[in-house]
Structure 1
């Protein structure tokens, strides 16, 4: 009996290990795409205009794919959502909103970059602010539940999340506040470091 339980445990651990490897690889691809987009964003204005469609397809579809990676990471977590969060249904709703708020802009710019570029960026940037707030609330609630409020690692995570929130808000303000192409270029730098 003990041997069967050990075999089952090892099988589950191998499966979790493969899932974590796949999630890590997908995350690294996302980092690579953001590095590529940062380089493209740094090019001369003529180059950026010539490659605008490719650039935005990379940007919006990579963001959508990363939203899926986040969902898989939460769903694939070995612990039940109820053990981590006091409101697991709210977590599920937030995952749904994140996926929808990333696929809609991706589909819109695919249909017509010319017509939907600005509203798609607006949706994306507002979603980033929302997700930063959600990350902050999640970290806080997990720490409170685990009684880790004095933990320095938690403090670091809360500070990083607060910085991410500030970057997301700055990005939206820059995109809407600066004139012309410079607004989009600067906002993209913020986006790809976030």
Structure 2
């Protein structure tokens, strides 16, 4: 009788244990990991969207800033071109220093802005040979600016030779803008005409060296004639940079809209982001 009661109690105890649904440590760890993975996906999905969106917006804002800088440089060159219409002796007597300071500062900030835009848009990378072109452009214009700032009269000729030599490379840099145009771009079909304009600007920059050096006679107006070629060529460079940035801004605007409308998987694939599982 006692044995029978013990068996009944044992059966009841087993039923209670089964109802508790006790899990092994391995099963518990698996469920916790699965839960964390689910939480990770839900919580970080919005973070990934936000990261991609902010990245495109940041590029947009930086490109807008450099557009304004280059637009200002364009009108500075236009003002210098107008001021250069006066005879050389009038320039030297009335506004010699601000005239040349604006010239050298404009060349430096244009080279700096152009280099930043090319790097920001991925056309020039730090491991590319084209980065040395950017370094020479920025470094050369900076050296010319610093030397002229030290002593305008003593270093004027040296600074101009450095500046004019570097501007040959600045003109060639415009080809990077053309060759990176998307085939679907509105400007793609005009690549031949754009190339002809750049070649013309390069020839102007090359002739500028001969004019300034007196190889081409200018009746004693070699610096003034060289300035005409310089500011005209600089305005052409400004226009190419502005048009390129406007096209890039349109690309970034489309990317922002796609970020707001596309699926997460498509965004990750387009932006080269891979989640480590």
**Same fold by TM-score, threshold 0.5 exceeded?**
yes
Question: d(CA) in 2 for partners of 1:45 and 1:22?
Answer: 35
Q: Does 1:39 align with 2:82?
A: yes
Question: d(CA) in 2 for partners of 1:35 and 1:18?
Answer: 26
Alignment of 1:111-122 (within 5 A): 111-122=150-161
Question: d(CA) in 1 for partners of 2:203 and 2:123?
Answer: 31
Which of 148, 151, 159 is the matching residue for 1:109? Answer: 148
Aligned length: 184
Counterpart for residue 167 of structure 1: 204
Question: d(CA) in 2 for partners of 1:114 and 1:105?
Answer: 13
Conserved in 2, the CA contact under 8 Å of 1:132 and 1:161?
Answer: yes
Q: CA deviation at 1:96?
A: 1.1
Name the structure, 1 or 2, with higher relative contact order (CA <8 Å, separation 6+): 2
Structure 2: stretches of 5+ with no match in the other structure = 1-43, 234-277
Between structure 1 and structure 2, the one with the greater Rg is 2
Q: Which structure has the highest helix share of the two?
A: 1
Q: CA deviation at 1:98?
A: 0.9
Q: Secondary structure at the match of 1:89?
A: coil
Q: CA deviation at 1:67?
A: 1.0
**What TM-score comes out, normalization by structure 1 length?**
0.82
Q: Does 1:52 align with 2:102?
A: no
Question: d(CA) in 2 for partners of 1:14 and 1:139?
Answer: 22
Which of 155, 166, 172 is the matching residue for 1:133? Answer: 172
Q: Deviations over 1:105-146 (max 9, x none)?
A: 11111111211111211111111123333544x468657xx8
Counterpart for residue 94 of structure 1: 133
